[in-house]
Structure 1
Amino acid sequence: MALSRLEKAQVWLFKAVMGVFSLLLRFLSPRRPTVSGKKLPPVSNPLLLLSATQLAKKIRRREVSSVEVVQAYIDRIQEVNPLLNAVVKDRFAAALQEAAQVDKLIEEETGGEEVLEDRLPLLGVPLSVKESFALLGMPFTTGMISRRRVVATVDSPLVAQLKRAGAIPLGVTNTSELCMWGESHNHLYGITSNPYDLERTSGGSSGGEGSILGGAGAVIGVGSDIGGSIRIPCFFNGIFGHKTTPGVVSCENQYPPTSGRQDEYLSSGPMCRYAEDLLPMLKIMAGPKAHMLSLNTKVDLKKLRFFTIPHDGGSAFTYPVSKDLIDIQRKVVRRLEADFGVKVQEVQFPELRYGFQIWDTYMGLPDKEGKPPKPFAELMGEPGRPAWPVWELLKWMIGKSEHTLAGAIKSSSFIIQQKEKLQKEVEELLGTDGVFFYPSHPRVAPKHHHPLFRPFDFTYTGIINILGLPITQCPLGLNEEGLPLGVQVVGGKLQDHLTLAVALYLENTFGGWRDPGAN
């Protein structure tokens, strides 16, 4: 399709602005200490190579103590975090005390292993938590200097549910400023690196989680996603993640809070290194609403209908999908067809080329009472007066802003029609037994700050938020540079169990997470 005059003007303006920013960034961007030639050490403790499900079983059976497991992860965090800057505040002493209490509980338990598994399925297993979730006694700033003294006084519901299931939080992890950017960088905690290449981004906004999980400093964690904030870090860092159907897992006690209609697009979900941990974590995190997702239903992959969408059709705002990602998605298709005798149909939706405009429009829509979403500038200024983005940009140019550049620069009926048409077509395609594969991003993890030059590439994940669909992000090995490949597995509303089942198959077929220190 030819671009309209408006689209051509938008593209021209975007390229001009990015050209100016690229020159500024050469001189003004904060630098990390040189990491050239450095890489993460390989995993040496075999406990770090077990899933949370396996660890919980060994702890219940007294084959290993919770203290041993927690200490193993503390040691790994202390080994890799100076390189990654992923964990921004730890609670190691408290975690070891809680692990000792777990071991004492197991020693005194008389009901048997089955009772413990039913009541405390994650008993004694370490957990990492995105800093935008309230974790009692821990920082709750979302990277904002103005919130540097804010400490959580409660646990967010999903964190409380995981703790009640026996999980032991080790600390909180870095985010982008206000969770509003695809790179975990802020002026309170600094920038987080990718475990596969320290000169590359870990993504955002759950980039600290993605980094510490990918670096084997955690086995399970939690993230939130309104435009790709679970899936992009999981993709860049070579791990699994699940964006749940909205409205199932609680999003309370997160910062920033949603406004307007944003609660329709925000999801919280599990992030982990091993696919078998996704479903049990989701059951726990969903709490009383877990029944909505049919998570106990056995899935026969031979009976599913599979589709593949190789790209967005040529949006004016996103870059073309790279060859290595196109090729790995084709390989997934060929393996499915060979292993199950199914036919994977390639489809395309012309409306996807308007993905960014759809996401941007719907994020700004008012709620049912007509109240618009809270302005980003107002959130940036809290707890004081609203920030003035133009002034912050000018201050940033001379190194005086407390905010990152991404924070400082921050509806037409036609777009709404495109979304409604796309929604109808996708829901009819998927039904209750269909899944489709879609690129997670146009490219593998880029260098630090480079997302500023391609700010709309998140559209590959963001458009799925607006459609309200569940997605499981799956790693698919490494490319020739040793960087993670991956794909989104998308299902119909409330059909989360289908995408989770496909994730188990893809892990078995493509090898799942790879130790970055061994590559």
Structure 2
Amino acid sequence: MQRLQKNGSKTDTRGYRQLSTSVFSLLSSLHARQFSRASGFTSQVSSVEVVQAYVDRIQEVNPFLNAVVKDRFAAALQEAAQVDKLIEEETGGEEVLEDRLPLLGVPLSVKESFALQGMPNATGVIARRGVVSAVDAPPVALLKRAGAVPLGVTNTSELCMWCESHNRLRGITNNPYDLERIPGGSSGGEGSILGAAGAVIGVGADIGGSIRMPCFFNGIFGHKTTPGVVSPENQHPPYTGRHEEYLSTGPMCRYAEDLLPMLKIMAGPNAHTLSLDTKVDLKKLRFFTVPHDGGGSLTNPVSGELVDAQRKVVERLEADLGVQVEEVHFPELRYGFQIWDTYMGLPDKEGKPPVPFAVRMGEPGRPVWPLWELLKWMVGKSEHTMAAIALALVEMTHVSKPSPFILQQKEQLQKKVDELLGTDGVFLYPSHPRVAPKHHHPLFRPFDFAYTGIINILGLPVTQCPLGLGEEGLPLGVQVVGGKMQDRLTLAVALYLEKTFGGWREPGAK
């Protein structure tokens, strides 16, 4: 295991491995009680005990992970005490509380890019270090209104535009399964603390894989909703151009059963559009598997162990459900990155282009000069990461008009996928070509996120599902993709895959 710097001295992370099994029995036993039956606190465990258990867990693992960048433990424990008082005074029976406050007392972590009242909202930018949220982002407010207790905010990549959660303000976040590996981005702090059992549920946002990659790398469940269902407001950076069409806010958690109730709450008045209460019969669904992107020139081939994991899912679906899983190929997927990059740069309906990344890097001051920042970085003087600087440099090379060929590839792919899925189809697709890479390695393979990014441009809902641990003890997984507004189908498949493949596995498990 890697040895980390802590308080200026070397700290042996073997202690982390020991910690990883010391409280799991407690946390696992608390989960069902606190989430599905709020009034169970009175006879089994108090809300204060639950919140304190998670506070203790974060304090044990966060020195190794650097996932939670600002806590609100004191406030959370006060809110937990209020929960216990409410339960004690409730006279209408447990059904009343469950209906009104379905997440009563459930510990919640929040990606720092979301506004959480009284918490920082810097998204890794040093110039924003003093920004504190005065309000809650809509999905956060809805979760709090349902009774969830926020424990703190978690680390992101700089301005949420990279697949590693690293910035010059908060530092780098580690993967709980191997501290030398990345937890993904931009919701990497969320993925890391949830994978390490430091919270029950979390909130992420995804415009190119920012929910799914962290969930994949950290062995948990996550759902990228159909765009427009969950409000994207009060996040930083705010969406511009056509980004609202591709940005999705969704739930992240260790247990598949928590995805559906979370989504119902986070969607607010839009929840009815997804028909989430409609029962799904998996035997009546049409299943497809897409094993790779067709050999894109910019992405790495999918590793053998991930190909094998997806094949095992196909075999179990066919054996258990009696369905036929058809293998399909879309040649347009080999242009996945180019499609994502092109559509992210398109102007909105009024002709306004997206705000340049160099402008965002300099806010609230002037835009940065990417070449100057590169020179400063080379001598250790830049306030920005290499990933952010590289993105700003690449942005300078963009042509003003999109490629007609790439636009055509996207339209062809959209038509094929929509026709294939309809309202009763789902397909399996690799989450990433490799398991969690080592720190900074994505700089040398920057386009592998195309496996997740292309789904954003297609506007489809997708659930990221863990499939156990691989050869190096790192999480395996697969994306389950459904047709537009068919979120309930992929969530139902996630429940099946959790039961069949074991779902989340504790770090260090054999």
Q: Shorter-chain TM-score category?
A: over 0.9
Who is 1:489 aligned against? 480
| Bigger Cα displacement from structure 2, 107-116 vs 35-44 | 35-44
Q: Is the 8 A contact 1:53 1:276 kept in 2?
A: no
Rate the CA distance shift 1:51–1:278 in 2: closer, same or farther, 3 A. farther
Who is 2:438 aligned against? 447
Who is 1:56 aligned against? 35
- The structure 1 residue matched to 2:231, chosen from 247, 250, 261, is 250
- The structure 1 residue matched to 2:105, chosen from 109, 117, 124, is 124
Residue 518 of structure 1 and its aligned partner are, at CA, apart by 3.5
Residue 42 of structure 1 and its aligned partner are, at CA, apart by 2.5
Aligned mates of 1:34, 1:204 — CA distance in 2:
25
Correspondence 1:284-299 to 2 at 5 A: 284-299=265-280
Q: Is the 8 A contact 2:38 2:98 kept in 1?
A: no
Letter in 2 for 1:172: V
Q: Is the 8 A contact 1:307 1:345 kept in 2?
A: yes
Residue 480 of structure 1 and its aligned partner are, at CA, apart by 1.5
Letter in 2 for 1:490: V
Q: Deviations over 1:40-91 (max 9, x none)?
A: 3224333411575542345412221100000000000000000000000000
Who is 1:436 aligned against? 427
Q: Deviations over 1:387-426 (max 9, x none)?
A: 1111111111111100000000111011000000000000
Is 1:474 paired with 2:453? no
Aligned mates of 1:393, 1:363 — CA distance in 2:
24
Is 1:457 paired with 2:448? yes
Aligned mates of 2:317, 2:16 — CA distance in 1:
35
Aligned mates of 1:219, 1:36 — CA distance in 2:
24
Q: Is the 8 A contact 1:39 1:197 kept in 2?
A: no
Correspondence 1:31-46 to 2 at 5 A: 39-40=16-17, 41-45=19-23, 46=25
| Secondary structure of 1:516's aligned partner | coil
Aligned mates of 1:501, 1:141 — CA distance in 2:
36
Who is 2:396 aligned against? none
Who is 2:325 aligned against? 344
Is 1:498 paired with 2:489? yes
Who is 2:418 aligned against? 427
Q: Is the 8 A contact 2:426 2:483 kept in 1?
A: yes
Who is 1:160 aligned against? 141
Is 1:77 paired with 2:68? no
Aligned mates of 2:183, 2:464 — CA distance in 1:
15
Letter in 2 for 1:434: G
Aligned mates of 2:26, 2:369 — CA distance in 1:
49
- The structure 2 residue matched to 1:171, chosen from 139, 152, 177, is 152
Aligned mates of 2:457, 2:10 — CA distance in 1:
39
Gaps of 5+ in 1: 1-30
The percent identity for this pair of structures is: 79
Who is 2:5 aligned against? none
Correspondence 1:212-223 to 2 at 5 A: 212-223=193-204
Aligned mates of 1:188, 1:47 — CA distance in 2:
34
Q: Deviations over 1:7-50 (max 9, x none)?
A: xxxxxxxxxxxxxxxxxxxxxxxx99676756432243334115
Q: How many residues align?
A: 489
| Secondary structure of 2:464's aligned partner | strand
Q: TM-score, normalised by structure 2?
A: 0.94
Who is 1:375 aligned against? 356
Q: Is the 8 A contact 1:228 1:458 kept in 2?
A: yes
Letter in 1 for 2:381: K
Rate the CA distance shift 1:380–1:140 in 2: closer, same or farther, 3 A. same
Q: Is the 8 A contact 1:47 1:69 kept in 2?
A: no
Aligned mates of 2:112, 2:198 — CA distance in 1:
16
Aligned mates of 1:213, 1:205 — CA distance in 2:
14
Aligned mates of 1:147, 1:258 — CA distance in 2:
18
Letter in 2 for 1:502: V
Q: Is the 8 A contact 2:37 2:98 kept in 1?
A: no
Q: Deviations over 1:172-202 (max 9, x none)?
A: 0000000010000001110000000001000
Residue 484 of structure 1 and its aligned partner are, at CA, apart by 0.1
Who is 1:394 aligned against? 375
CA RMSD of aligned residues (A): 1.4
Who is 2:397 aligned against? none
Residue 517 of structure 1 and its aligned partner are, at CA, apart by 3.7
| Secondary structure of 1:123's aligned partner | coil
Who is 2:296 aligned against? 315
Gaps of 5+ in 2: 1-7, 392-401
Aligned mates of 1:393, 1:466 — CA distance in 2:
30
Aligned mates of 1:148, 1:239 — CA distance in 2:
30
Who is 1:234 aligned against? 215
Q: Deviations over 1:73-115 (max 9, x none)?
A: 0000000000000000000000000000000000000111111
Aligned mates of 1:174, 1:305 — CA distance in 2:
38
Letter in 1 for 2:106: V
Q: Deviations over 1:213-266 (max 9, x none)?
A: 000111100000000000000000000000000000001000000100000000
